Structure 1
Amino acid sequence: MADLLTIENLGNLVMLCFLQAVLGFDNLLYISIESQRAPVAQQRAVRFWGIMLAVALRVVLLFVMIRLIDTMAEPFFIMNWTGVLEGGVNFATCVFLLGGAFIIYTAVKEISHMLSVEHLDTDVSHKSGKSAAKVVAMIVLMNLIFSFDSVLSALAITNVFPILATAILLSGLAMILLADGVTAFLQKNRMYEVLGLFILLIVGVVLLGESGQAAAHAMHDESLALHFFGYEVIPMSKTTFYFSVVVLFAVEIIQSGYSRKLARERASHTHSQSH
């Protein structure tokens, strides 16, 4: 126990908590949006149990990854289609590819649905069409996919399991505390749900980019990086990702303010004409 209570481990814990908070934003956003697909009376319980189960499985995943990281890093096969598709594929590559594609599919499907509905009441009833168990299962599944990014990043800081597990448990507690607030905000400000779906779309692109370097980083061999038609698949930097998110929020805030200003001017003009 005394070996754990060191300045180095304390610093690593603080860094990991910050990392989990930053990388967990997109996860919390997905949980808040997906939970609204469940029956209204069960949405809060869905968020709670979805996060609890996902955090428990994330700790298990972390333990497994620490024990089997070398085995998982080995590429399953190496593609050598010169000029078309080249590079190595390992377990993390598959997770990032499938997870990214699924997130993009989910975001595009929900955006398309929003464009197709004629009445908001219809939209709300559609969102409550999934069973609570199905929504919990989706939250757990997507949380595990999101967790690969944060777990792999955490392992780059330390491999001390108790420190890593503590950081994950604290991030799970934070998600439980914030999930209801984020969901309530999205329900009151539905235009931000569209913004959230576009952020999820970017997250899917980020995960697809991460797949290109998964095998190369794991084996410390740049020749295993994926190349598509001669171009290397390079992941989007976290700085670029969060800059894109900030720009989206700024555009939405400015557009909302401008729309309110136009509405006031039109109301004032209509009132003056009526007199």
Structure 2
Amino acid sequence: MLELLNDPAVWASFLTLTILEIVLGVDNVIFISIAASKLPEHQRARARFLGLMGALILRIGLLFSIAWIVGLSKPIATVMGWEMSWRDLILIAGGLFLIYKAATEIFDEVEGDHLHTAEERVVEAVFMSVIFQIMLLDLVFSVDSVITAVGIADHLEVMIAAVCVAIMVMIVAANPIADFVESHPSTKMLALAFLVMVGMALVADGFHYHVERGFIYAAMVFGGAVETLNLLRQRRRRKRV
């Protein structure tokens, strides 16, 4: 273990993998923030923390089962020329679930009862059901995350260290991101639209139509930049008033 610390290649793979894990975890943090928003306010931070800690435990467990994870990519059946694997089924199911959750949230935001305030329209969800939803999506994101780790790093210790650092960064960022999204309805709609896009990318990956994540994140950055300009314009208008 100690000799790994003196290898520049190990540090390079650790930094690369850590950055990738943080980037790949953005959609996970957004989903966790929106799922936890259905809970009473005093339970939201706890749900976000437990969701991310669950993701950490799940990813470390999967890293110790690398042979099994790699085996998930092996075809188990062929349907009309499509070689189906367990990984494909997990991605398709997770993508459809993500699209469903994001679409229902968008519907609730747009078609909700306008006679009540936003706070009154929030349905207080059962705490454990929200944790279950978070863990279900964590499983989908963890499979892709672990496969990415295996492709970049050669040492299990490096993979675990990178995943731990990335999850800790997400734990620190989760509450500020959630508060910002909740206090800006237009930003929440944009985040939900991103989740629909990520869900469609997961389904496409499951059917072997790979969508480069770079295009998805470029769209996110562009949409985020436009939203930032809108928020700045709104702030200037409020100051004038």
1:244 aligns with 2:219: yes
- Per the alignment, residue 129 of structure 2 pairs with 134
- Per the alignment, residue 4 of structure 1 pairs with 4
**Contact 1:37/1:126 (8 A) holds in 2:** no
1:168 aligns with 2:163: yes
Q: Work out the CA distance in 2 between the residues paired with 1:164 and 1:129.
A: 37
Taking structure 2 as the reference length, what is the TM-score of the superposition? Answer: 0.90
TM-superposed CA distance for 1:250, in Å, is 3.2
TM-superposed CA distance for 1:129, in Å, is 1.4
**Contact 1:77/1:90 (8 A) holds in 2:** yes
- Per the alignment, residue 47 of structure 1 pairs with 48
Cα distance change, pair 69–41 in 1 and its aligned pair in 2 (3 A): closer
TM-superposed CA distance for 1:262, in Å, is 8.1
Q: Work out the CA distance in 1 between the residues paired with 2:234 and 2:161.
A: 45
Q: Work out the CA distance in 2 between the residues paired with 1:171 and 1:127.
A: 31
* Identity fraction in percent: 28
Counterpart secondary structure, 1:156: helix
**Contact 1:100/1:206 (8 A) holds in 2:** yes
Which structure has the bigger radius of gyration? 1
More displaced 10-residue stretch of structure 1: 121-130 or 67-76? 121-130
Cα distance change, pair 257–4 in 1 and its aligned pair in 2 (3 A): closer
Does 1 or 2 have the higher relative contact order (CA < 8 Å, sep 6+)? Answer: 2
Q: Work out the CA distance in 2 between the residues paired with 1:120 and 1:199.
A: 28
- Per the alignment, residue 29 of structure 1 pairs with 30
- Per the alignment, residue 182 of structure 2 pairs with 187
CA RMSD of aligned residues (A): 2.3
Q: 1:197 aligns with which of 177, 192, 202?
A: 192
Q: Work out the CA distance in 2 between the residues paired with 1:237 and 1:201.
A: 16
Cα distance change, pair 155–3 in 1 and its aligned pair in 2 (3 A): same
Cα distance change, pair 103–8 in 1 and its aligned pair in 2 (3 A): same
**Contact 1:39/1:131 (8 A) holds in 2:** no
TM-superposed CA distance for 1:185, in Å, is 0.9
Q: Work out the CA distance in 1 between the residues paired with 2:92 and 2:185.
A: 30
Deviations 1:150-188 (A, max 9, x none): 221111112421111111111111111111111111122
Deviations 1:210-269 (A, max 9, x none): 2133xxxxxxxxxxxxxxxxxxxx22212211111122223334455666788899x7xx
1:77 aligns with 2:52: no
Counterpart secondary structure, 2:75: coil
Number of residue pairs matched by the alignment = 240
Cα distance change, pair 257–178 in 1 and its aligned pair in 2 (3 A): closer
Q: Work out the CA distance in 2 between the residues paired with 1:62 and 1:52.
A: 15
1:116 aligns with 2:111: yes
Q: Work out the CA distance in 2 between the residues paired with 1:8 and 1:103.
A: 37
**Contact 1:36/1:128 (8 A) holds in 2:** no
Q: Work out the CA distance in 1 between the residues paired with 2:69 and 2:50.
A: 29
**Contact 2:99/2:195 (8 A) holds in 1:** yes
TM-superposed CA distance for 1:144, in Å, is 1.6
1:101 aligns with 2:96: yes
Structure 2 unaligned spans of 5+: none
**Contact 2:17/2:153 (8 A) holds in 1:** no
- Per the alignment, residue 207 of structure 1 pairs with 202
Alignment of 1:222-237 (within 5 A): 234-237=209-212
Q: Work out the CA distance in 2 between the residues paired with 1:179 and 1:260.
A: 24
Structure 1 unaligned spans of 5+: 81-85, 214-233, 268-275
